[in-house]
Copies of this chain bind each other. A is one copy, B any other.
């Protein structure tokens, strides 16, 4: 008899099926060395009792964790949610679960706290979106603790085999081409914080893209924001107050672009008639503001999925492939040719 209220265990199944627990184990683990008749008999008992192996017991016996950690400090909810979905897409076929760990790199015990987390849990592996992915100290700590990891980053910082690369510079280059094509020449850039590699890559790509059209990016028109609405607003306010103000602004992400909308509105400057604004990320807000925002789209969910797959490794063999994503420009209504009289 099965203990009332208690879970049925491998022993119960073994007894009920008249085999040893090892045989049950073999059935569970799809070992080929079980006679079909035996397998069926055991399967029937398993199903009849809704048996499912205890994950902690397996983990202990196999010296393996079934938990994947996602460690992140990204400020955009949409980014986080899409990334989580993507990772789960990859984990779906496996029996791994996703444990989340938001953090703040500015907090004092940020590093120690994550170290404890990693040491205690002995994860199957960890996935690091930017900007956590750029923290080499953290990655070193993971390696010290034998925790494999996949970085999502705009540059390859160690092996390409554990990086999902996003070609941020190419996305920014496309934005530059679009703006230049429209005929703009006085062009500003509100970049992200220097602590983010993506911010450098986007800046670099944007500058390159303009250069390809023979346009120089005036360093006086490059301001540093914090990837937030408020900083976008502040930087744009400064730009719009200039004597000879720019006719186009490329913002390092959508949040800052929406802040720039607000700055333009308060200054009585029309988008896109007086000023063109371009964002980056294509988060949902980009198509909910008015005018709808021209921006650069990253397939965030697919990137998460690729990261998950990289972490799992190829089930048939163990070759792991280098994965990279190229962003594309989404043209909407926030960009137009510069005003005639300018």
Contact = CB atoms under 8 A, between A and B. Distances in A.
Nearest to A58: B56
Contacts of A85: 102
Contact of A262 (B54, B78, B95, B288): B288
Contact of A288 (B53, B97, B121, B258): B258
Nearest to A266: B290
A7 to B, nearest CB: 7
A2 interface: no
A77 interface: yes
Interface stretch (A59-67, A131-139, A219-227, A245-253): A59-67
Number of copies: 2
Given A98-B100, A102-B84, A7 B122 contact: yes
Interface residues of A, number: 44
A261 interface: yes
Interface in A1-30: 5, 7
A52 B119 contact: yes
A336 interface: no
Nearest to A88: B102
Contacts of A261: 290
A122 B53 CA distance: 10
Contacts of A121: 55, 97
A90 interface: no
B50 A119 contact: yes
Interface in A100-145: 100, 102, 116, 119-122
B102 A55 contact: no
Given A100-B100, A285-B285, A122 B80 contact: no
Contacts of A98: 99-100
A268 interface: no
A78 B284 CA distance: 11
A178 to B, nearest CB: 24
A265 interface: yes
A83 to B, nearest CB: 11
Contacts of A65: 56
A259 B262 CA distance: 18
Contacts of A82: 77
Q: Which 5 A-B pairs have the closest CB atoms?
A: A77-B81, A77-B77, A56-B59, A56-B56, A77-B78
22 contacts: A5-B146, A7-B122, A50-B119, A56-B65, A67-B97, A77-B80, A77-B81, A80-B81, A81-B81, A85-B102, A88-B100, A88-B102, A97-B121, A100-B100, A229-B284, A229-B288, A258-B288, A259-B288, A262-B288, A265-B290, A285-B285, A289-B289
